[in-house]
Amino acid sequence: MTQKKLSIITVVWNAAAELERTLANIYALKTPEIESIVIDGGSTDGTREVIERYAPDYWVSERDNGLYDAMNKGIEAANGKYIWFVNAGDRIHQMPQLEDKDIYFGETLITDMEGCHLGLRSKRLPEHLTWRSLVSGMVVCHQSFIVRREIAPLYNLEYRYAADIEWVIECLERARTIENTHLILSEFAEGGISTANRYASLRERWRIMVAKYGFFRTVTAHIGFVLAKPFGKKYRQKH
């Protein structure tokens, strides 16, 4: 099988309307070098009919063990040199040129569940991203992070809500070359799993950060974050 340049992986469960918006966006940008992969958790609301209408390059509709199990299925099915997670409700804002870096990253535009733009993520991207950059939190949005397939690990299913931060850190640890695209890569629909289960997500994130950076480094990095949060803006405006 000829390898594709990019695998766009979309995970969905009982979100037919959101999936419709996402696949319409992906297919408007799709070229022969891009494959679309849809992993559905056995939806019963019409999601399967949306999938069949778009006929992605690979899809499956079956029960899974949660979001990260579904995302692992997407990684395992991917034939692309690079993988990009654009889940149901999310959209691609700008398509980058993928050449030979291990990782490409960019800005994220936050939307509501109807797709209306709210602003850029409040966290500013570092100009140069490394695994150490995440000591104070998820400075790059998962949906604006494109990684070479061969260095991407599977998600750690020990975590239900925050496995994405560990995954991003481990991708960055393995990467030799990382490029800031200076583009708004994705539109992220607010209201995902980590928002709905915020406290469980924060507890998991704390465990991950301590394991990766150590207790005292994690505490020090989060003091400023906690103090600044009440005064911070939720979104930034595009320039």
Most confident of 29-33, 114-118, 217-221: 29-33
Let me know if domain 4-236 sits in CATH 3.30.70.20: no
Residue range 119-136: mean pLDDT, rounded: 90
What band does 118 get if pLDDT is binned at 50, 70 and 90? confident
What band does 132 get if pLDDT is binned at 50, 70 and 90? very high
pLDDT of residue 116: 83
Rounded distance between C-alpha atoms, residue 26 and residue 43, angstroms: 21
Instruction: Give the start-end residues of each E strand in the chain.
Output: 4-12, 34-40, 58-61, 80-85, 91-92, 103-111, 117-121, 145-148, 178-189, 235-236
pLDDT of residue 212: 94
pLDDT of residue 226: 56
Structure-token pair, residue 100: 């030979």
Residue 139 has pLDDT above 60, yes or no: yes
Rounded distance between C-alpha atoms, residue 123 and residue 83, angstroms: 23
**Domain residues of the chain, as ranges?**
4-236
pLDDT of residue 230: 47
Residue 194 has pLDDT above 60, yes or no: no
DSSP string, 139-198: -S-GGGEEEEGGGPPPP-TT-SS-HHHHHHHHHHHH-S-EEEEEEEEEEEES--HHHHTH
pLDDT of residue 179: 98
69-91: per-residue pLDDT in tens? Answer: 999 999 999 999 999 999 999 99
Mean residue pLDDT across the chain: 90
Please give the angle made by the CA atoms of 19, 185 and 224, to the nearest 5 degrees: 105
Q: Name the percent of the chain lying above pLDDT 90.
A: 74
